[in-house]
Amino acid sequence: MITKKVPFYSLGYVTESLGRDLLSAFGGVLESNWFIRGPRSERFEGVFAKYCGAQFGVGTGNGLDALTLMLRASIELGYLKRGDEVIVPANTFIATVLAVCAAGLVPVLVDPDRETCNLDVSLLEGACSERTRAILAVHLYGRLADMPAICEFAKAKGLLVFEDAAQAHGAELDERRGSTGSPTETRDERLETKDERKVARSTAAAYSFYPTKNLGALGDGGMVVTDDAELARTVRMLGNYGSERKYVNKYVGVNSRLDEVQAAILLEKLPHLDGWNARRREIAARYCSEIKNPLVRVTPVPANPLSHVWHVFPVFCERRDELQSFLSARGVETLVHYPIPPHLQEAFTGASDSLLRHGVLPVAEELARTELSIPMGPGLGDDDVSRVIEALNEFV
């Protein structure tokens, strides 16, 4: 009865559309016989930082490491100290929380806004204690968190702001992509200058290039993006055994670097990212206007459509599991992002309870119970989109 499945995400589309270019990029690395920390990773770091409107990019082995090293570098530089509390949205992917813990900091989980699924700024005040030192905003599903409001709150409280941008490559705050980068020491001064008042910026942002992200490698990869030269330098050292000069170790570092093969692939893919994101926005606009089922809630297109890159298109339904089976029977693939919120994960319950701090989190728990991600990606055709919409509207 079903002719063809509507895939949740077609990675094959991206790979096939760039087939030859990816092969020759890979061939170039093979011929160069240079695989770690070479000209391609250096070039991609520069190009991607510029794309983000920031000065420095430091490649890492993956997104979790980018987050962890960004925070660890902030500790080494004295911006933060071990045991400090960092505010994190309670409905994020587990890696955000793991990174805060791995850096020796304490995540404080805050309920998200039900509509945007991002940090609810009105709850920040109540989440602060005398140990709170930073906010790690997550641009969940590709929608930029309310950075101007978050940065304004942080400024008033003397907190740092960091970004988990693992799902938001190319999302723009005004004309800038992401909001990354004002150097920590001069952040206050820069906020006083005219054009910076409008766009308060974070200390640094962490990206992931996991294959299915909006910009994905052929394996793991990540990057820290910042305007803070010292932070960039420290992240680079931490990811290279704590060393800047061979066999001289300043920090207790790790090995976490973006390799030449991944950098070569990402250099090929980056010029296509804006086009892919534009296609995602087209699909999202159709979903938002054509899904008309009182049982299915969608998140609206933001006032500035460019601030959302729709890494995921979430719908919310009280009978989520039933809806998922219903769609599956009609050939529509879906996933849940995410079924269990971090505070209910075994890793954080029971004996290790003191690892994080949180109050009641009704919105995060509701989202976990009702979220369903429907097909999204640049490879999705108009007919596929129509089939998804029809199937959703038929659910009773």
Q: Which residues pair with 65 in a beta bridge?
A: none
In whole angstroms, the minimum distance from the beta carbon of 275 to ligand PLP comes to 22
Report in angstroms how near the CB of residue 253 gets to ligand PLP at its nearest: 18
What is the smallest separation between the CB atom of 164 and ligand PLP, expressed in angstroms? 5
Q: Where are the alpha helices (DSSP H) in 52-193?
A: 63-76, 94-102, 124-127, 147-157, 187-192
Shortest distance, position 204 Cβ to ligand PLP, whole Å: 14
> Which CB, 110 or 391, lies closer to ligand PLP?
110
- Collapse the DSSP code of 173 into the 3-class scheme (helix H, G, I; strand E, B; otherwise coil) and give the result: strand
What whole-number distance in Å separates Cα of residue 312 and Cα of residue 337? 9
Cis ω before 338 (30° cut-off from 0): yes
Q: How far is the CB of 125 from ligand PLP (least distance, A)?
A: 24
Residue nearest ligand PLP, Cβ-based: 63
Instruction: Report the residue number, 139 or 190, with the smaller CB distance to ligand PLP.
Output: 139
| Residue placing its CB nearer to ligand PLP in the complex, 220 or 371 | 220
- Give the number of other Cβ atoms within 10 Å of residue 75's Cβ: 18
Q: DSSP readout, 14-44? A: HHHHTHHHHHHHHHHHHHHT--BSSHHHHHH
Whether the CB-CB separation of 80 and 104 falls below 8 Å is answered with no
Q: Which is nearer to ligand PLP, 208 or 234 (CB)?
A: 208
Name the residue nearer to ligand PLP (CB basis): 59 or 63.
63
Q: Are 214 and 88 in contact (CB under 8 A)?
A: no
Contacting residues for 30 by C-beta, under 8 A, at least 6 apart: none
Minimum Å distance from CB 259 to ligand PLP?
14
Which residue's CB is nearer to ligand PLP, number 84 or number 220?
A: 220
When the beta carbons of 183 and 378 are compared against ligand PLP, the nearer one is 378
Residue 287, φ and ψ in degrees, nearest 5: -55, -45
One-letter amino acid for residue 165 of the chain:
A
Nearer CB in complex with ligand PLP: 208/299: 208
Minimal distance in Å, beta carbon 377 to ligand PLP? 15
Q: Residue 93 CB, nearest distance to ligand PLP (Å)?
A: 4
Q: Tell the smallest beta-carbon distance from residue 33 to ligand PLP (Å).
A: 27
Q: Among candidates 218, 230, 215, 241, which has minimal Cα distance to 181? A: 230
Residues ≥6 apart with Cβ < 8 Å to 185: none
Chain contacts with ligand PLP (rule: CB under 6 A): 62-64, 92-93, 95-96, 138, 164, 166-167, 208, 210, 220, 222
For the chain, what is the total number of helices (H) and then of strands (E)?
14, 15
Helices marked H in 291-381 — which ranges?
320-329, 362-370
Q: How far apart are CA 266 and CA 247, in angstroms?
A: 30
In contact, 223 and 48? CB cutoff 8 Å: yes
Q: Which is nearer to ligand PLP, 145 or 317 (CB)?
A: 145
